[in-house]
Structure 1
Amino acid sequence: MVVAAREIPDSNLSSISSAHPDAATNWVDLLLDRSVHRQHSPVYTFLENGEDAAETINYGEFCDRVLALAARLRLHCAPRDRVLLLYPPCIDYMVGFFACLCADLVAVPLFPPRSAKHNLRIEAIARDCRPQVALYSSRRQAHRHAAIAEQPALAAMQFICSDDVALGEAAQWAHPGVGADAIAFLQYTSGSTGLPKGVMVSHANLLHNQRMLQASYQTSQDTALVSWLPIYHDMGLIAKMLASVWLGSHAVFMTPAVFLQRPFRWLQAISRYRGYLSGGPNFAFDLCVDKVTEAQREELDLSSWKVAFSGAEPIRLGSLERFARAFAPCGFERRALMPCYGLAEGTLMVSGGTAGQPLISKYVDKAELTHRRIADAAGRAGQPIVACGHTHADLGQDVRIVDEVSHRTCEAGTVGEVWVKGPSVAQGYWGRVEQSLEVFDAHVAESGEGGFMRTGDLGFIADGQLYITGRIKDVIIVRGSNHYPQDLEATVESTDPAINAAGVAAFGFRDECSDEERVCIVAEIARTSLRKVDMPALVQAIRRRVLETHEIVVSDVVLIRPSSLPKSSSGKVQRSLCRELYLANELALAYGQAPGDESMPRYAPAPAAARVAVAENG
């Protein structure tokens, strides 16, 4: 039993329950309640190799460890100091995160340090938020401690090993009296260019977003959550790891690496632990279809999986339908598929469906879409776009479609920028007042209404459903028509099995000589095809397919080596960074030529700069 929790006179233990967490105003009181009312129930199970349970911890044990570490942190930090979390995926990560909340400190979730070059992003974040302490675990990371200490911005910090904290230190913990508006953590964006920005997410933001997640997913304390997503990224942290505490339920998780090595492990965990909620980016569903064998499918029972959410990258109807067909014999139901839309600036979820409702999509006229107009296409002949659910107006969230230049509300049937206002919208960017005002306090021109957050994403609303068509900065304009890169990328992927799933980037660039917009395609070659595919023929096939499908003449096609396409920590293709590497001739070429190089296409090894760029961005 957590004695410290029962000794806090101002905690809300009497007013919060697992069935009604809405009474919580901060995550400290919510955790204390769980430690009493769900004391012996499991909160986390970690599958270190993706198959065997390396550790399971119940709510009482978890709270003991959290309060002990929180007490230690208060000896080294003042309220609202920043703390870097440098753990690999493990239960220690969540102990460290909640310890920050229980000490009124600002957690900064990051990936574990690797090499000195890999730590450049960590160092940039440390310079931005100026942390007082970094937390790590000696059991998993002692050999990496020296690498990170070599960075000037990090060497001056205090490093606390959570393994060295005794449970008895929990007796020294005192309730910090944290308010709902206090910053809980900084979610650093994985932007492709420039310095990363820390989104300030408050206790209240997190609590409201959990209400939206629960409204969509229809979860309870009896629903098991299964995850392979990175804990340091908002989708894994908020939708899985924090959701389990909000619900008083059980989360089973593994590392992204073991999932990628053997995708069957994800589905096996759902089957074994009777997972109700699990999901990930579009590529994860494709990977399972491609890599899980018939014999493995016969071992699976996916009938408990009622919410299979998809987000973080463009959602493809074909991918979801392929997955539903492939795993229907395993008990998976198509109606479990739930596309969602969200971003760090909105804490996480902006829109989502409702558990048990059918997948919704539209086929729109491709020509009209290039002019930002939505017109239904006959049958399935048009461009498929998947609905990302309703916008939770019932929970106080206001979503508008606004022209990004005039700031006037778009007419129905028109594509514009998605603007969001509500309790889940974060507090701004850490230390960036001007950027925060620009992004988080936009005003609608005709009414003067303010306080909207500009997402930078394009979309439209039809029949109460939000549809996302692309990002403003990624739109390719050819002869006055707008083309969305994800549409071109899907076309290229379908050209040949030698092209990796989710391994294509399409982008435009201005030719300085002709002052014309050029279109470039960068595609990863699958490792198994690297030595046997006819690359010149594949390049021509890609050009032909894009021309036939989109009426676009591709200026350049570059084939790159496996796993070298720049992506964010959530699996999003970083098109801007890919464009930069292309123009600097720093892509990991398998076949192609440098911009402006009139010599014959060449084979080349992966340049170090490209490998570092990929590593630094997860």
Structure 2
Amino acid sequence: MLPERIEDAFLEAAEVDGLGVGFWLGPGRIDHWTYRKLATEATAFAAGLQSRGIRPGQRVALVLSTGPEFYIAWFGCILAGAVPTALYPPARLGRVAEWRTRTAQMLSTSSSVMVVTEPRLYAFLGAPVAEADPEHGCTDVATLVELGRDQQLQTGHSGELAAVQFSSGSTGKPKPVALSHSNMLSNARSILSRLPGDPSKHHGVSWLPLYHDMGLIGCLLAALVGKTQITMLRPEHFVANPVSWLQAISETRATVSVAPNFAFGLTEKRVRDSQLENLDLSSWSVAMCGAEPVHPDTLDRFVSKFAPCGFRREAITPVYGLAEATLAVSFSPVATAPRWTVFEREALESNRQAIAADQGLRVASLGTPLDCQIEIRNEAGCKLPEQKVGAIHLRGPGVMLGYLDQPKETSKAIDPEGWLNTGDVGFLYQGELYLCGRAKDLVIIRGRNHDPAFIEQGLEGVEGVREGCSAAFAVLPEEADTEAIVVVAERHKNSTVDNDLLRANCLEAIQEATSLKVHDVQLVEPGTLPRTSSGKIRRSTTRQLYLSSQLSAPERANLRLVVREQARGYFHHTLRRLRGPARKSA
């Protein structure tokens, strides 16, 4: 009988000798933790939570890096009956002020009663914790483990709600997605069902952040449920040195690894030819690509570069999913070359119809539904036939319970029959799903709908522009009677191309790729474009900053900035502790 709750699946995995997680420390160095050892520590953590007064059903925010501590804390919350809410650590120090604001908002929105972090991040959380003022303050994993080491863990079932995952917030504020045990376990099993053969015979590698649904459910939980060995890298290590991802796959003979489109592009560009001879990617049979629009050109370049290392085109597996559906919605068939279909651009933009053609726009098929139904609907909510572009709706066991404590927002997203409006635009062609983009991001010019991702693709290959670092949107220029297209693009830090020439090259590239005339291309410094916690560019926020002339490069990260932020954080932690006794005495 399959476990119905996550704690049961965790404890079942802990019974398997040797099964666990490897944490990548570098070539030839892996810190391996069995689930049995993790379960021992997680049980102590859970008892520590209970001794601090955490009750079943209460939310506990986790601000942790990838490592054993995340596993201990996340599963420890589950064992205690608490609801883990994973938040992202401060990844971009130059944007730490924005991170403080967002973190405080998420702590308040989730009604978290405690924040659990690690010593190196404690100071950064001073201001958010002071603002949100969780009942049980902020502590670290080791403190709770030691507190609960000799305590008896009480049964902590918390009911249906298992965890809270925040949506990426690419078109607005991140929303708290409430997920049940059934949501998460069924979605993990659906993912495993698409792998060839016995899941336990596979080996995974992931650098995806564990606060993101693809990292948490698609990697951490799927590996646990499938009793699959997995090796984890820290996201920051991958970004700093992309070859580490491939080294881990090569050394562990991994068969499965997943990443967003940008990661395949970054790796193709940053891995040197001299490093290829030490890589053997012949074991990598399932290379899932999702979490953001899939660009065929990017993946074609990746295949070409790493074919000499044994990487096969058939391994590329485009997928589609979103937090509100737990994670996975559709998968391309594994062990089959990805399907890039060419559609008439004019028909897509003017008639919102997908007509296959010899020339036009190449779009990636995202495969067929996983354990769910998919419908494409028009603005009136009526089902559209195949090849018509509309809003993607879905229904199935992965659809969230709702947005946490937000019934109005939930009713807007999920209709009475259980259909979720994903907020994405796409179409079905020959039974397979194709994605155009986010409905709120559509650029409408003279009655024609332009998907910004397709406009931004026109900049791929332009020397001096960072790949995947541009945002297209519409504005109404002064004294104009119709909106026009603006593109903001980050220039490469090492580019020697003159700004005027680079701008002209961008205009020409977009017009050549799309036949569209762009009103303005604004070039900005690397890191300027606002992003979500998962790295997606926030186009609507970029548009607001452009219109208010507030697009500015992030503050340069240096020792002075770190010391300043830590001092600020310790001040707020101290102030909050001093206020505590005063509140109690009052």
Q: Same fold (TM over 0.5)?
A: yes
Q: Which amino acid aligns with 1:188?
A: F
Contact 2:48 2:146 in 1 (8 A): no
Residue from 365, 377, 385 that aligns with 1:411 = 385
Q: Give 1:146 shift.
A: 4.3
Q: Deviations over 1:344-393 (max 9, x none)?
A: 00000000123212211211111101021111112xx221011101103x
Match of 1:429 in 2: 403
Contact 1:586 1:607 in 2 (8 A): no
Q: Which amino acid aligns with 2:391?
A: E
Q: Give 1:544 shift.
A: 2.4
1-structure distance, mates of 2:154, 2:135: 28
Query: Are residue 341 (structure 1) and residue 316 (structure 2) matched?
Result: no
1-structure distance, mates of 2:257, 2:310: 15
Q: Give 1:561 shift.
A: 0.4
Cα–Cα, structure 1 residues 193 and 573, in superposed 2: closer, same or farther, change >3 Å? closer
Query: Are residue 99 (structure 1) and residue 76 (structure 2) matched?
Result: yes
Cα–Cα, structure 1 residues 177 and 83, in superposed 2: closer, same or farther, change >3 Å? closer
Query: Are residue 526 (structure 1) and residue 507 (structure 2) matched?
Result: no
Match of 2:377 in 1: 402
Residue from 465, 474, 485 that aligns with 1:499 = 465
Residue from 312, 318, 322 that aligns with 2:301 = 322
Q: Bigger shift: 512-521 or 196-205? A: 512-521
Cα–Cα, structure 1 residues 255 and 491, in superposed 2: closer, same or farther, change >3 Å? same
Q: Structure 2 stretches of 5 or more lacking a match? A: 566-586
Match of 2:220 in 1: 241
Contact 1:226 1:251 in 2 (8 A): yes
Contact 1:127 1:153 in 2 (8 A): yes
Structure with more relative contact order (C-alpha pairs < 8 Å, separation 6 or more): 2
Q: Secondary structure at the match of 2:274?
A: helix
Contact 1:390 1:465 in 2 (8 A): yes
Query: Are residue 196 (structure 1) and residue 196 (structure 2) matched?
Result: no
Match of 1:602 in 2: none
Contact 1:281 1:571 in 2 (8 A): no
Q: Give 1:515 shift.
A: 4.1
Match of 2:429 in 1: 462
Q: Secondary structure at the match of 2:458?
A: helix
Query: Are residue 331 (structure 1) and residue 295 (structure 2) matched?
Result: no
Q: Give 1:100 shift.
A: 1.1
Q: Bigger shift: 331-340 or 287-296? A: 287-296
Query: Are residue 440 (structure 1) and residue 414 (structure 2) matched?
Result: yes
Cα–Cα, structure 1 residues 190 and 177, in superposed 2: closer, same or farther, change >3 Å? closer
Q: Which amino acid aligns with 1:367?
A: E
1-structure distance, mates of 2:310, 2:88: 35
Cα–Cα, structure 1 residues 508 and 100, in superposed 2: closer, same or farther, change >3 Å? same
Q: Secondary structure at the match of 1:409?
A: coil
Contact 2:21 2:33 in 1 (8 A): yes
Cα–Cα, structure 1 residues 308 and 194, in superposed 2: closer, same or farther, change >3 Å? closer
Q: Secondary structure at the match of 2:483?
A: strand
Q: Which amino acid aligns with 2:330?
A: S
Cα–Cα, structure 1 residues 87 and 475, in superposed 2: closer, same or farther, change >3 Å? same
Q: Deviations over 1:293-326 (max 9, x none)?
A: 1111110010111110111111011111111111
2-structure distance, mates of 1:391, 1:308: 18
1-structure distance, mates of 2:48, 2:135: 19
Residue from 351, 368, 375 that aligns with 1:390 = 368
2-structure distance, mates of 1:413, 1:273: 42
Aligned positions of 1:194-273 closer than 5 A: 194-218=172-196, 220-273=199-252
Residue from 98, 105, 116 that aligns with 1:135 = 116
TM-score by length of 1: 0.85
Match of 1:186 in 2: 164
Q: Give 1:607 shift.
A: 6.5
Match of 1:73 in 2: 49
Q: Deviations over 1:571-616 (max 9, x none)?
A: 222111111111111113xxxxxxxxxxxxxxxxx3769x99xx9x
Contact 2:114 2:135 in 1 (8 A): no
Contact 1:587 1:607 in 2 (8 A): no
1-structure distance, mates of 2:314, 2:478: 50
1-structure distance, mates of 2:514, 2:310: 38
Q: Structure 1 stretches of 5 or more lacking a match? A: 1-14, 16-22, 443-449, 589-605
Residue from 154, 171, 175 that aligns with 1:174 = 154
2-structure distance, mates of 1:301, 1:483: 41
Aligned-residue identity in percent: 33
2-structure distance, mates of 1:499, 1:284: 16
1-structure distance, mates of 2:42, 2:17: 14
Match of 2:331 in 1: 352
Contact 2:171 2:440 in 1 (8 A): no
Residue from 515, 528, 531 that aligns with 1:551 = 515
2-structure distance, mates of 1:117, 1:310: 29
2-structure distance, mates of 1:155, 1:457: 34
Q: Which amino acid aligns with 1:328?
A: A
2-structure distance, mates of 1:178, 1:34: 21
Query: Are residue 563 (structure 1) and residue 538 (structure 2) matched?
Result: no
Q: Give 1:157 shift.
A: 3.6
Q: Give 1:245 shift.
A: 0.9
Q: Give 1:455 shift.
A: 0.5
Q: Bigger shift: 200-209 or 216-225? A: 216-225
1-structure distance, mates of 2:410, 2:122: 37
Cα–Cα, structure 1 residues 474 and 172, in superposed 2: closer, same or farther, change >3 Å? same
Q: Deviations over 1:130-177 (max 9, x none)?
A: 211111233x4345454554x321465422322132397376123334
Contact 2:81 2:158 in 1 (8 A): yes
Q: Secondary structure at the match of 1:528?
A: coil
Cα–Cα, structure 1 residues 156 and 171, in superposed 2: closer, same or farther, change >3 Å? closer
Q: Secondary structure at the match of 2:355?
A: coil
Residue from 506, 510, 517 that aligns with 1:542 = 506
2-structure distance, mates of 1:116, 1:517: 33
Q: Secondary structure at the match of 2:532?
A: coil
